[in-house]
Every structure is written in C-alpha cells, then in structure tokens.
Amino acid sequence: MTEKQLHAVIIGASGYTGAELVRILYGHPNVVIKALVANSNAGQPIKSIYPHFSDIDLPDLIKLEEVDFAGVDVAFCCLPHATSQEVIANLPSQVKVIDLSADFRLRNPDDYKEWYGKDHAALEQQHEAVYGLSEIYRDQIKEKRIVACPGCYPTSMLLPLIPLLRNKIISSDNIIVDSKSGITGAGRSPKTANLFTEMNDNVKAYGIGGHRHIAEVEQELSLVAGQKVTATFTPQVVPMNRGILSNIYIQMAEGKTIDDIKNTLRDFYQDEEFVVVHTDGYAPTTKDVCGSNRAMMGIFADRVADRAIIVSVIDNLVKGASGQAVQNMNISFDLPENTGLAKISMFP
C-alpha cells in the first residue's frame, strides 16, 4: 500500500484537532501534508504555536487563499461551525472533504437553524455529505464527497446505541446519557473558565438539558428507531486533557435481557478493530483509549429491573475527532482502515 500517496491539506491547523491531525498524518505512510492553513497565524512555522513540532519537516502555516489545490486529494476542515460550510462550499469539487465541524452533520436544515442559530449556507453541499460514523456508514463514507465527522460525545453514545435500537433490544424512551470529557474538547481559545487554576481539581456540568450534540444523536437514533427519539444528555468537564466517558442508562425492550445487550454488541463489533466490547464486568476507563482510535464499552445490569448501564469511552481528539477523520480518509481511498492509526493507548 505504501506506493499510494495522498496529498492532504489541513484547514484550521492551529486548533487542537488540527494539531492532532498533523501528528497522525505525519506518521501516515500514504499521506503527504501539502498545506497547513491557519489564517491568523499565516506566515509562521507551525512550531511557533506548537513547539512540539520543532525540527519536524512540515510546511509553514498559510492563508486559505494561498493553497494550491491542484493535485490535492483530500482536505480536512477543522474550523468552527458556520465558517466551515462557507469554506467547504468553495473547495474544488475533486477534493474529498473530511469535515470535523458540525456543519454537515444534521440532515434537516431546520434542525441546523434551531441548534446553531442561523440558516445553513451550503445546502447543495449538504446533499453530498454523509454522517461519518465510520463503523455505521462505511459504504456511504466511501461514496460521498463530504464526510461530516460526528461530534466527540455523539461518537461515544451512538456506537453502543445504534445496534441496540436497530435490533429493538432497548426502548427508545428513557435514554439518559451522562458524559465526562477532557478539557481539550473546549478548544484552545483563551477563556477564564478553562484556565488551569479554574479546572484543576474541579468537575463542572454545562449545557444541561440542551447541549448541541444531542441534536445529531437524536437524529441518528430516530433514524434507526423509525420514530422521533428524545434523549437526556448532560456533558461535564473533568480535570484531564483527553478522553470521554459516557454512562448510558437504558431501558430494555420487553422480553429482552442484559445478555441480549451483550450479545448484540459483541456480535455487531466482533470484526471491528477499533471497537472493544467488554462483557465480563470490566468498566473501561478513559486512559484505556488515550491516544488510541479505539472505542471501548462495558455492559452492566442495573439493580432497577429491566434497566442497564453502558460505560462507553473514547479519546475525544482521536476516535472523537482527528482519528476517526483519518479512518474515514482511509475508507474513502481504499486504504486498510487502520493505516496510521494507533490501537494501543499511551498508558500511563
């Protein structure tokens, strides 16, 4: 496979997901990083904002209009929502687009307006997009021009919930998800609330009752359930850099048991190398997947009858963002899906 060379551009290279893409793609045997776009730092070497890239052979940061897209195979877009759709609408049509923003995740433009507060500005491109949850939409990811990578929280929830709802193992009512995230999820903009001194030794819930990520989760759950699903979701930040742990509280469908849940998930993911299903009472921790593209889940019966709890973990920057983005690139270009992606976490 090493003969295939993809030319890649990273748009939005100054944020954490951009930097993580640089790290992963630099080690990818089939990728040449052709341009790094970061408008506000254009003209500087990337090491000026990320010194860990010192003495690494990488192109300097440039403005988007400076990119020569001739020969570019794939563009990763790590921009804020709203900005992302504008940029993508103007990319050359031969370029495969892997978008890490929320802009192309919601199929219904009304949903986009409701949750993101403005009209969608790239409806045409929306039709070329697929929701990029790799294990679920593999075929369409390959075919569609734009891959809208899922949010970090949604990835941790949907991987266990979709197979269970699709197979009618659980009820679509009463789904409650309580998630804890590392603080990289808040990005690199300087805000008082995200200072070390504010978050060290602290836990903070936010977006209670209405975080935007629930929109794409409800969209996907409704699709597989065949009816409108509304779910409860509480995100929290805890004092760590990477990782999401979601506790998913579910109600079994009538006549279903905890073993049905275990068997369904084990069977569904048995050939997936980036999903590990623990059915033996082990509850995975975020460090089990730190730096890895794997998702892990553990399954537990509740003491309340007919209820179960799934503990689902990912690294928000890898499987929850840049890793899944590269996985989607691999799928798109017929590379082995694991190329350039770590399975073993960096523990401790």
Active site residues: 152
Question: Could you say whether residue 300 binds its own copies (CB under 8 A)?
Answer: yes
* Residue 94 or 174 with smaller CB distance to its own copies: 174
Question: Could you say whether residue 113 binds its own copies (CB under 8 A)?
Answer: no
* Residue 93 or 197 with smaller CB distance to its own copies: 197
Each residue 36-55 as x (binds its own copies by CB under 8 A) or -, in order, gives: --------------xxxxxx
Each residue 12-31 as x (binds its own copies by CB under 8 A) or -, in order, gives: ----x--x--xx--xx----
Question: Could you say whether residue 243 binds its own copies (CB under 8 A)?
Answer: yes
For the CB of residue 323, give the shortest distance to its own copies in the complex, in Å: 12
CB 127 within 8 A of CB 105: no
CA distance 127 to 146: 9
For the CB of residue 68, give the shortest distance to its own copies in the complex, in Å: 25
Return the SS3 of 45: coil
270, with CB counted inside 10 A (0-12, 13-18, 19+), is exposed
Residue 330: CB atoms within 10 A of its CB come to: 23
CA distances for 114 relative to 32, 87, 95, 284, angstroms: 39, 22, 30, 35
Question: Could you say whether residue 198 binds its own copies (CB under 8 A)?
Answer: yes
Stretch that binds its own copies, among 36-44, 118-126, 228-236, 323-331 (CB under 8 A): 228-236
Q: Radius of gyration (Cα) for the chain, nearest Å? A: 20
Each residue 253-282 as x (binds its own copies by CB under 8 A) or -, in order, gives: --------------------x--x-x---x
CA distance 209 to 232: 7
DSSP symbols for 68-88? --TT--EEEE---TTHHHHHH
CB 320 within 8 A of CB 19: no
For the CB of residue 199, give the shortest distance to its own copies in the complex, in Å: 4
CB 258 within 8 A of CB 301: yes
Question: Could you say whether residue 227 binds its own copies (CB under 8 A)?
Answer: no
Question: Could you say whether residue 221 binds its own copies (CB under 8 A)?
Answer: no
Question: Could you say whether residue 201 binds its own copies (CB under 8 A)?
Answer: yes
Answer for which of 138, 301, 306, 333 binds its own copies (CB under 8 A) is: 301
For residue 339, give the H/E element and its range. none
Stretch that binds its own copies, among 32-40, 77-85, 241-249, 260-268 (CB under 8 A): 241-249
Sequence letter at residue 345 = S
**Using CB under 8 A, which residues numbered 167 to 186 contact its own copies?**
174, 176, 178, 180, 182-184, 186
Question: Could you say whether residue 56 binds its own copies (CB under 8 A)?
Answer: yes
Question: Could you say whether residue 307 binds its own copies (CB under 8 A)?
Answer: yes
* Residue 2 or 93 with smaller CB distance to its own copies: 2
Sequence-separated (6 or more) residues with CB below 8 Å from residue 61: 13, 14, 36, 37, 38, 41, 42, 43, 44, 45, 46, 49
Stretch that binds its own copies, among 74-82, 98-106, 139-147, 300-308 (CB under 8 A): 300-308
